[in-house]
Amino acid sequence: MTIDFSNFSISDISPETDFEIKVLAFLEEWLSNSQKVKVQTSGSTGAPKIFEVEKERMRHSAKMTCDILGLKERDSSLLCLPVEYISGKMMVVRAIERKLILFVKTPSSKPITDLTENIDFCAMSPLQVENSLDKLHLIKNLIIGGAAVSESLKNKIAQKLIHSTTQSHIFETYGMSETLSHIALKEIYPSAKDYFTALNGVELSLDERNCLQISAPQLNPELIKTNDLVEIKQVNESANDKLHFKFLGRIDNVINSAGLKIYPEELENLVKKEISNDVVFLGVKNQLLGQKLVLAIEGEENEIVKKQLEKIIYPTKNHRPKETIFIELFPRIPNGKIDRKTLEKLVKKDKG
């Protein structure tokens, strides 16, 4: 299904699939007299819930993204994310507000296998990108969200595109349902950045825990306090620049082993430079250390992966896992993110 929002009438839409019916239902909700729409959270940081969002705030979010990417009327965009969540809804709203041509594809792990024409704008999850590497050169602006982009995937993207003539620009996003999709972007390709850059209208600060606080009045009237440990970088001190930050990890994931605070996400990125398997560092209760550092690897145990692990140089000897275990399949929540809490319970049960 294709919708040209530069010349749009809802009566012209004839959905054929279940997903297209859901998109039509959202369009009807968006065009209704109600000032709000219902949004479902992913459940990645708590139990899934449904909350209402003002349409005007979603319009502001759409404008911020379209402006930073330079999208203009009748540019093409591709929707391949579930429209129940803010990520899918915002793709539709961006198309409406900037009058884009929207191609609607049923969400799957391989959403663009039959793509043959160039697309100006698309949003995907890391898993979708992993399965779409051969087609990335067809997408001019790609944003990746829903989960962190691993070092392994970043390398694969660069290897696929570096010898092509593509004009692709690929970004990792930072955001959540409460910020109506992303509030910051980090370029992955053609240049790889270390820091996220906040969009216009977003102010950042740290709380007493060194966790990120977000002030974006056009998106959310409240100061948003996160559990994300970050490092804020000032590029231009004279302008009081606090728009750039590096994600270190979630404070509830921090492991305290022998008095050392370990950010598992940083170690996971380090390991993912060497192996393609999904990995998670966990802290298992230990009388001597407080928490013993354990590396869980998704997949069957094999010698190739073990040899790759030997190449890894950790920041200190205390950052090296005390134990490595292989688990055939990691538990995941509906949006595909690894369910760390359930995985931790599995590991603890395995440890007796």
Q: Region 108-125: what's the mean pLDDT?
A: 93
- pLDDT above 90 covers a percentage of the chain that reads 63
d(CA 13, CA 272): 44
Residue 173 has a pLDDT of: 96
Q: What is the mean pLDDT of the chain?
A: 89
Q: Where are the domains of the chain?
A: 2-201+237-249, 254-350
pLDDT-derived band at 349, boundaries 50, 70, 90: low
pLDDT at position 325 over 60:
yes
The alpha carbon of 166 is separated from its chain's Cα centroid by a whole number of angstroms, namely: 23
Give the model confidence (pLDDT) of 258-290 as tens digits.
888 899 999 998 998 888 888 999 998 888 888
Give the model confidence (pLDDT) of 54-75 as tens digits.
999 999 999 999 999 999 999 9
Residue 51 has a pLDDT of: 80
8 Å CB contact between 92 and 180: no
pLDDT-derived band at 89, boundaries 50, 70, 90: very high
Name the β-bridge partners of 213: 205, 225
Residue 48 has a pLDDT of: 63
Residue 274 has a pLDDT of: 87
Residue 95 has a pLDDT of: 97
Q: Which of 148-152, 153-157, 233-237 has the highest mean pLDDT?
A: 153-157
pLDDT at position 47 over 70:
no
| Topology, domain 2-201+237-249 | Rossmann fold (3.40.50)
- Tell me the two tokens of residue 167: 């004009």
pLDDT at position 141 over 70:
yes
- Report residue 119: phi and psi, to 5°: -125, 135
**CATH assignment of 254-350?**
3.30.300.30
Residue 60 has a pLDDT of: 95
8 Å CB contact between 181 and 161: no
The alpha carbon of 61 is separated from its chain's Cα centroid by a whole number of angstroms, namely: 16
